[in-house]
Amino acid sequence: MIITLDGPAGSGKSTVARKVAARLQIAYLDTGAMYRAVAWKCLQESVDLADHDGIIEIVRESRISLDCGPTHTRVMMDGQDISEAIRSMETNQATSFIAREPAVRRVLVEQQRRLGAELGSLVSEGRDQGSVVFPHADAKFVLDADIEKRAERRFHEMCADGIDLTFEQVLENLRLRDGNDQCQWAPLLEPGQAIIIDTSKLRIDEVVEILLEHVKTACNH
Ligand code: DC
């Protein structure tokens, strides 16, 4: 069974995807972590984010591995654990640039499909999982929420991770990322192709229950 969960930053999709996967006892795939890992390496190797060839070389030579656990995703790049480093504000920003690079997307989409085939059943979370990576998924969801609410969630997460930023900085960063993410290479599904859930006024556990209900219905058809 393949379930896709797409949506903008701060829509709650990572937490929801993890919980749904745990309830169904299937794998969870955090595809944003793969894009983050490539961006992190570009920053480490001082590759200019406008240097297409440099970025492509990085993605081709990288060995990314993921361990998506019930609370956190551990990310290894060429054998080094970069799980915390990829969550910095600098990496956030760089990721939304490199994710626009078609060659990067091609390589990572290929890796995601391979992982999907190996795992068999999974909840895959990102921006293009239902539209590009797994167009034949059994159930597709898009989570959304208004930008203030998304910024509030991100702000609390970052405070909990000890990242020192103001709410306004987080809000501004989200605005920039929304602009970059809504590009043709990471199309979010349109209404009708997926179940769209506005999470602004819902608790995480309520969203999880709604999704599980839909998955049950999809499985009975
Ligand atoms: O979901 P996230 O915040 O970890 O995603 C990090 C960045 O990667 C964000 O800028 C969107 C991009 N991304 C993407 O373009 N396609 C995906 N499948 C997943 C993430």
The confidence score (pLDDT) of residue 190 equals 64
Intervals of the chain under pLDDT 50: none
Q: Give the closest residue to 49 by CA, choosing from 107, 91, 108.
A: 91
Any idea which architecture 2-210 has in CATH?
3-Layer(aba) Sandwich (3.40)
Give the pTM: 0.91
Give residue limits of the domains in the chain: 2-210
pLDDT, position 182: 62
User: So what's the pLDDT on residue 157?
Assistant: 84
Report the alpha-carbon distance of residue 5 to residue 188 in Å, rounded: 10
Report the nearest-CA residue for atom 2 of ligand 1: 32
Q: Is 112 in the pocket of ligand 1 (CB under 6 A)?
A: no
pLDDT for position 179: 73
Separation of CA 201 and ligand 1 centre (Å): 23
- For atom 1 of ligand 1, the residue with the nearest CA is 32
State if residue 31 touches ligand 1 by the CB under 6 angstroms criterion.
yes
Question: Using CA positions, which residue lies closest to atom 16 of ligand 1?
Answer: 127
Is there an atom of ligand 1 within 6 Å of 37 CB? Answer: no
pLDDT at residue 69, rounded to an integer: 75
Q: Is 31 helix (H, G, I), strand (E, B) or coil?
A: helix
